């Protein structure tokens, strides 16, 4: 049995101009019961537990302004997005609404929001089962745009991957069909305009498994693994031109996150075949970015672990626990850990997110 848990907190983050109320949120998918647990990030003590009443197995979490969004699957296999508001002053979450997208989204695999939402924000979700990518209104959860698997020239996509979004563009990755018996599946990065919703650019990725992260107006980061290769690419988000690439030595590059001030990139890396990984930090103030700290070792981490930084803390989920590191001289040092109070051996976390009132933060 596995359960779903969210962690929340009051934070005064040094990386934000103003932080009135924040939430660090961790979810664990479950087969029979999903709960939402809100914890203070400084003490890691539980301040709220919500019984998840919609029978939805939660898998991904993001934050946008005053809201937490959770995506999961209902008993019919349909993708569902739940919206929670971060209440001002009492450090708790309140359920607002939810929407099921029926057969237009089955087996949702990623959820994101526009990182630069000074204009009109949006949510974007990729769905492996239906091979679709959805764009939704964050206030009403109403569907704005639906993409199916693209066919570009003689390239056919067979599986949707990750998704990222800015005010101007939506980026989606796909696995391609081999063009001959001798070919292997590769990756495909497609860039859509948020004005016309048409394809404006695309690029082949070496390796069918990939993750995306927006790094401000000047950077799009992509990790790709497969076909004997793994690398981190730094791309121009307007042209998709690759401006920098890093290849690990004996590691796979997987999930990543940037600090809210975009000065540091934290990347989860893992040795092939081992259930343990590390978090590597790159200094984004230097060009090209340079490794700035010793790797942080994480034991028993699932391959989808995603590091997350807020204020003076680095968070990383690890099996059924969350590890929090405090920074010293700009690098993660002292660590604390919580196990969420779960006892079943197959409980595992799937997503972490931080949100706050009076500030902007996206996981």
- Tens of pLDDT, residue by residue over 209-219, are 788 888 777 78
What would the mean pLDDT of 321-347 be, rounded to a whole number? 67
3-class secondary-structure state, position 30: coil
- pLDDT higher than threshold 80 for residue 325: yes
CA torsion through residues 239, 241, 244, 250, sign: positive
The pTM of this model reads: 0.83
Residue 162, pLDDT score: 92
Question: How wide is the angle at C-alpha 190 spanned by C-alphas 184 and 191, nearest 5°?
Answer: 165
Domains by residue range for the chain, with CATH: 21-357 (2.130.10.10)
- Sequence-separated contacts (24+) of 259-263 with Cβ below 8 Å: 259/15, 259/309, 260/13, 260/15, 260/16, 260/309, 260/310, 260/360, 260/361, 261/15, 262/215, 262/216, 262/219
- Strands (E) located in 28-154: 35-39, 46-51, 57-64, 67-73, 79-86, 93-100, 108-113, 123-127, 132-136, 143-147, 151-152
Three-state SS string across 201-232, please?
EEEEECCCEEEEEECCCCCEEEEEEECCEEEE
Beta-carbon contacts of residue 274 (< 8 Å; ≥ 6 apart): none
Beta-carbon contacts of residue 103 (< 8 Å; ≥ 6 apart): 78, 130
Q: Which of 141-145, 256-260, 303-307, 320-324 is the most confident on average?
A: 141-145
Q: Which of 155, 290, 163 has the alpha carbon at shortest distance from 232?
A: 290
What would the mean pLDDT of 226-254 be, rounded to a whole number? 84
Percent of the chain with pLDDT over 90: 23
- pLDDT higher than threshold 60 for residue 333: yes
Q: Which of 30, 116, 118 has the alpha carbon at shortest distance from 74?
A: 30
Residue 34, pLDDT score: 63
Residue 12, pLDDT score: 22
Question: How wide is the angle at C-alpha 83 spanned by C-alphas 263 and 35, nearest 5°?
Answer: 95
- pLDDT higher than threshold 90 for residue 79: yes
**Mean residue pLDDT across the chain:** 75
Cis peptide before 162 (omega within 30 of 0): no
Lateral strand order in the sheet of 108-113: 108-113, 123-127, 132-136, 143-147
CB 19 within 8 A of CB 10: no
CB 318 within 8 A of CB 347: no
- Tens of pLDDT, residue by residue over 14-34, are 121 222 234 443 333 333 446
As a whole number of angstroms, the distance between CA 27 and CA 137 comes to 23
Q: Which one-letter DSSP state was computed for residue 259?
A: -
Who wins on pLDDT, 325 or 138? 138
Residue 62, pLDDT score: 80
- Tens of pLDDT, residue by residue over 280-292, are 888 888 777 788 8
- Tens of pLDDT, residue by residue over 88-143, are 666 678 889 999 999 999 999 888 888 665 567 899 999 999 999 999 999 999 99
- Tens of pLDDT, residue by residue over 152-208, are 888 888 899 999 998 889 999 999 887 666 677 788 999 999 999 999 999 988 777
As a whole number of angstroms, the distance between CA 354 and CA 363 comes to 6
């Amino acid at each position: 049995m596995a359960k779903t848990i969210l962690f929340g907190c009051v934070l005064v983050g040094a990386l934000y101009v103003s932080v009135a109320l924040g939430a660090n949120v961790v979810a664990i998918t479950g087969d029979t019961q999903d709960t939402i647990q809100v914890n203070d990030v400084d003490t890691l003590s539980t301040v709220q537990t919500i019984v998840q009443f919609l029978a939805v197995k939660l898998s991904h979490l993001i934050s946008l302004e005053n809201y937490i969004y959770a995506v999961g699957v209902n008993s019919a296999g349909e993708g569902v997005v739940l919206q929670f508001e971060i209440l001002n002053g009492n450090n708790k979450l309140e359920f607002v609404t939810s929407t099921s997208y029926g057969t237009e989204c089955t087996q949702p695999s990623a959820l994101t929001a526009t990182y630069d939402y000074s204009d009109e924000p949006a949510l974007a979700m990729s769905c492996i089962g239906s091979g679709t990518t959805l764009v939704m209104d964050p206030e009403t959860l109403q569907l704005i745009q639906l993409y199916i698997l693209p066919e570009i020239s003689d390239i056919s996509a067979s599986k949707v991957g990750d998704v990222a979004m800015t005010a101007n563009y939506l980026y989606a990755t796909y696995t391609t069909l081999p063009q001959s018996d001798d070919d292997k599946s590769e990756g495909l990065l497609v860039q859509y305009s948020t004005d016309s919703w048409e394809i404006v650019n695309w690029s082949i990725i070496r390796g069918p498994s990939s993750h995306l992260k927006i790094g401000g107006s000047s950077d799009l980061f992509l990790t790709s693994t497969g076909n004997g290769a793994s690398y981190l690419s730094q791309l121009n988000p307007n042209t998709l031109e690759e401006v920098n690439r890093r290849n690990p030595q004996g590691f796979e590059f997987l999930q990543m996150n940037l600090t809210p001030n975009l000065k540091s990139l934290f990347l989860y890396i893992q040795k092939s075949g081992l259930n343990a990984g590390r978090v590597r930090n790159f200094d984004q103030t230097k060009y090209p970015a340079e490794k700035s700290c010793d790797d942080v070792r994480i034991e028993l981490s699932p391959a989808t672990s995603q590091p997350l930084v807020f204020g003076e803390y680095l968070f990383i989920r690890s099996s059924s626990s969350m590890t929090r590191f405090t920074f010293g001289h700009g690098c993660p040092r002292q660590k604390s850990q919580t196990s969420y109070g779960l006892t079943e051996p197959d409980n595992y976390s799937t997503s972490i997110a931080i949100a706050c009132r009076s500030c902007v933060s996206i996981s």
